[in-house]
Amino acid sequence: MTQPSLRNQLVTVFGGSGFIGRYVVQKLAREGARVRVAIRRPDEGLFLKPMGSVGQIDIVQANIRVPMSVQQAVRGSDVVINCVGILFERGAQKFSAVQARGAEVIALCAKEAGVKTLVHVSAIGATADSSSDYAKTKAAGEAGVRRHMPQATIIRPSVVFGQEDDFFNRFASMAAMSPVLPLIDGGHTKLQPVHVVDVASAILRAVQDEAAAGQTYELGGPKVYSMKEIMQLTLAAIHKKRLLVPVPGFALKPLAFALELQPIFAPPITRDQIELLKRDNVVAEGAKGLKDLGVDQPTPVEGTIESYLYRYRRGGGKFEPRFS
């Protein structure tokens, strides 16, 4: 594998203040790259600056719904990484605008700016025939990227977990407030959670490895779980017992719709997420994955989620690491 140095290379990261993006920025800074973080609200990315030396990390304003701002953000870049994604729609932040058209705009602007390396973060399950708008627009985004930059590397993670995740934290928060947790359609859907640090490591390797150009990688952790098992692991981590009740997805949609309408907090479940859970979210057989990008020992869920879910225990609890 060819791994050219990133020292003094200018890498523009769209969505660099997000869950995956912040870990990518940190790794790039450690490699000596000059990092330009392109986000809608630059003040929300200031926490990234201490990850590098003085002046190494620059925060710029860019909205991928506005092509001119994207053009300015990619100007002079050696590498572009797109980590932008949304879990639900609100206001102008629509799946089609962000994950489909926005991804294509980034690829087009990168091509016009002479950028040779583009890494695009998509998702396992991105298919044009999905009943989920999230998955359909992820697929449209991939197609748009390939249309303009066929040499781009596409990264498709399964559910990503880690300290700031919106997955295990969401279920733990629900369990802290409710004695009953729903298992959508029985909780049989399979997922392959992958740790955010492993995803960031894979993205870094994709940038450095010339053989990754034009490839698609599906990233999953070391073990596949059903949604029911995910809930059980979450409850064990926070030392709580809750009743797990199978509920048909269609029966939850009216509640999900009501939660989507309120403007105060992120909805714990949406109608589109219910559709997304109709299909398993695991690495396809024969797909290139973490190992192909140098991550030989992916981080397990067990023994990891306890390190950040302990705060949902009664009284805040205490994290007690277990040693084998």
State the pLDDT confidence band at 322, using cuts at 50, 70 and 90. very low
Which carries the bigger pLDDT value, residue 318 or residue 4?
4
pLDDT at 316 exceeding the cut of 90: no
Note the pLDDT of residue 317. Answer: 62
CA distance linking residue 273 with residue 253, whole number of Å: 10
Q: What is the pLDDT of residues 58-89, one digit of tens each?
A: 999 999 999 999 999 999 999 999 999 999 99
Note the pLDDT of residue 270. Answer: 94
CA distance linking residue 196 with residue 185, whole number of Å: 27
Superfamily (CATH) of domain 10-160+193-221+281-298: NAD(P)-binding Rossmann-like Domain (3.40.50.720)
Note the pLDDT of residue 314. Answer: 84
Q: What is the pLDDT of residues 253-277, one digit of tens each?
A: 999 999 999 888 888 899 999 999 9
Q: Which two tokens stand for residue 269?
A: 């479940």
State the pLDDT confidence band at 1, using cuts at 50, 70 and 90. very low
Contact 261, 199 (CB under 8 A): no
Note the pLDDT of residue 315. Answer: 76
Q: What Å distances lie between residue 57 and 22, 111, 164, 186, 215, CA to CA?
A: 11, 23, 21, 46, 28
β-bridge pairing 194-195 and 160-161: parallel
Contacts 24+ apart (CB under 8 A), 70-73: 70/14, 70/38, 70/105, 70/106, 70/109, 71/109, 71/112, 71/113, 73/12, 73/14, 73/36, 73/38, 73/109
DSSP state of 129: T
β-bridge pairing 225-226 and 190-191: antiparallel
pLDDT at 2 exceeding the cut of 60: no
State the pLDDT confidence band at 10, using cuts at 50, 70 and 90. very high
Report helix, strand or coil for 33. Answer: coil
- pTM for the whole structure: 0.94
pLDDT at 34 exceeding the cut of 70: yes
pLDDT at 100 exceeding the cut of 60: yes
Note the pLDDT of residue 318. Answer: 57
Q: What is the mean pLDDT of residues 173-195?
A: 95
Helix axes 102-112, 133-148, angle to 10 degrees: 10
Which carries the bigger pLDDT value, residue 189 or residue 4?
189
Q: What is the mean pLDDT of residues 11-20?
A: 97
Q: What is the mean pLDDT of residues 308-317?
A: 86
Please provide the DSSP assignment of 248-315 as one string: -HHHHHHHHHHHHH-SSS--SS-HHHHHHTTS-B-PPTT-B-GGGGT--SPPPSTTTTHHHHGGGSGG
Contact 102, 84 (CB under 8 A): yes
Q: What is the mean pLDDT of residues 114-121?
A: 97
Note the pLDDT of residue 285. Answer: 95
pLDDT at 323 exceeding the cut of 90: no
Chain mean pLDDT for the chain: 94
**Range with lowest mean pLDDT among 86-90, 124-128, 132-136:** 86-90
pLDDT above 90 as % of the chain: 90
Note the pLDDT of residue 324. Answer: 33
Q: What is the mean pLDDT of residues 88-108?
A: 95
Domain ranges of the chain: 10-160+193-221+281-298
Note the pLDDT of residue 266. Answer: 86
β-bridge pairing 160-161 and 153-157: unpaired
**Range with lowest mean pLDDT among 125-129, 245-249, 260-264, 296-300:** 260-264
Q: What is the pLDDT of residues 162-178, one digit of tens each?
A: 999 999 999 999 999 89
Please provide the DSSP assignment of 228-264 as one string: HHHHHHHHHHTT---EEEEE-HHHHHHHHHHHHH-SS
